[in-house]
Amino acid sequence: MGDSLVSFDPARIAVILLAGGRGTRAGFDAPKQHVMLGGKAVLQWSLDALAAYPGVLVSDDDIALPAGWSRAAPGAERQDSVASGLALLAEWSDDAVVLVHDSARPGVTPDVIDRLVAALESGAAAAIPVLVVADTIVRNADASVVDRAELARVQTPQAFRLGALRRAHAEAAGEAASDDAQLVRRLGEGVALVAGDARLHKLTFAEDLAMLESLLGVEKETMRIATGMGYDVHRLVAGKPLWLGGIRIDHSHGLSGHSDADVALHAITDALLGAAADGDIGCHFPPSDPQWKGAESWRFLDYAVQRVADRGGDIQHLDLIIIGEAPKVGPHREAMRLRISEIARLPLSRISVKATTTEGLGFAGRREGLAAQAVATILWKE
């Protein structure tokens, strides 16, 4: 808080944050308060800016709340939602200050809050932030000019003495108002105007998102898709367990190698490392290192998945093909997909497992070994 509030106890300021609207005019797939802005939801910007005060989030969403906050169900209209928040402040005294804010305005600044509370300290029952109207304003009916000197653009948060806001809602008797300040004016109370901030621009339409990114100094994220390929081969030998696609399969032969020789998981691991431009499986788990002798191959895949996550990558899809005459992969396909999805921490819908033979040709056709190829697709933020 700024120096202007040295006489006011910040603990006597409460917040009602409205986030129950659907925002259909914006045209987003999700409610506009959940649209991502600079790496976090629009709603989170307000929560972060106001987290120092006790508050009530009026929303059905299960977003994590700051310490000292509670949640209230939104109403059918804005006034109903504010009333829902007020109900959770029943134990607060009438002389406390309450800030009512619309979560679609993510650019809350301490300076605006300072000015609002300072206005209440000077005796106002309510204070609202406003911006001057710079454009020429005309009437729709006849294009006649309206004197813009008489107009101002209203923003939130709006500040109230809690008692005044309680009385305003109690006496509204269902009469609609565009904001709470209008309800307080109907009581005959004065509403102070303080300087607003362009960063409190409201997200109403889709194009407002680009404007907010500029106003808030947000660097827009760019995305890059990378594809990696992996290939592995291991010899089939008698008397060894067969690990393939992360599961153990009953078979007369198993795969020979320094680890458990799971060609499928090795191929996927190499594909992920390739899409991350991060070397290959031999660089990270050299066969010359005795610690990897007999190692379970799921550990290699888990490692590659974590490497991608640590660098900000999002694995979009894994496509695996196993090459060999036997065993038949079909009966084990879904078990492999499930195990790979568990290791890679991905939905099953992002895992593809296929199999083919070489029509009796080559080492695989002679049943001397198995091979696997994999393709990994990763979405990178830049």
pLDDT of residue 22: 65
| pLDDT > 90 fraction of the chain, expressed in percent and rounded | 71
* Cα atoms found within 13 Å of the Cα of residue 73, Cβ hemisphere only: 2
With a cut of 60, say whether residue 240 has pLDDT above it: yes
Q: For the whole model, what pTM was predicted?
A: 0.60
pLDDT of residue 98: 97
Do 207 and 234 lie in a common domain? no
Do 115 and 187 lie in a common domain? yes
| pLDDT > 70 fraction of the chain, expressed in percent and rounded | 95
Do 116 and 208 lie in a common domain? yes
pLDDT of residue 287: 81
CATH of the domain at 327: 3.30.1330.50
Do 238 and 181 lie in a common domain? no
Q: Which residue has the tokens 């799921």?
A: 298
d(CA 160, CA 117): 8
d(CA 231, CA 218): 41
With a cut of 90, say whether residue 108 has pLDDT above it: yes
With a cut of 70, say whether residue 263 has pLDDT above it: yes
CB 239 within 8 A of CB 347: no
Last residue of a domain, one of 186, 215, 244: 215
pLDDT of residue 281: 87
Q: Which residues face 37 on adjacent strands?
A: 40
Do 279 and 204 lie in a common domain? no
Do 203 and 228 lie in a common domain? no
The model's pLDDT over 308-350, given as tens digits with 9 standing for 90+, comes to 999 889 999 999 999 999 999 999 999 999 999 999 999 999 9
Categorise residue 5: left if φ over 0, alpha if ψ from -120 to 50, beta otherwise: alpha
With a cut of 70, say whether residue 5 has pLDDT above it: no
Query: Kind and range of the H or E element at 342?
Result: helix 333-344
d(CA 144, CA 137): 8
CATH of the domain at 182: 3.90.550.10
Q: Which amino acid is at 198?
A: A
Last residue of a domain, one of 215, 238, 266: 215
Do 159 and 277 lie in a common domain? no
- Per-residue pLDDT band for 3 (boundaries 50, 70, 90) equals very low
Extract the tokens encoding 372: 């696997």
Do 172 and 318 lie in a common domain? no
Do 22 and 163 lie in a common domain? yes
pLDDT of residue 121: 92
With a cut of 60, say whether residue 6 has pLDDT above it: no
**Which domain, by its residues, includes 117?**
3-215
State how many domains the chain has: 2
The model's pLDDT over 275-291, given as tens digits with 9 standing for 90+, comes to 999 999 888 888 888 88
Least confident of 24-33, 91-100, 341-350: 24-33
Last residue of a domain, one of 215, 249, 276: 215
The model's pLDDT over 114-160, given as tens digits with 9 standing for 90+, comes to 999 999 999 999 999 999 999 999 999 999 999 999 999 999 999 99
CA 15 from chain center: how many Å? 23
Do 76 and 140 lie in a common domain? yes
CB 342 within 8 A of CB 188: no
Mean model confidence pLDDT for the chain: 90
Do 210 and 231 lie in a common domain? no
Of 26 and 71, the structure prediction assigns the larger pLDDT to 71
Q: Which residue has the tokens 């090459």?
A: 323
Do 323 and 231 lie in a common domain? yes
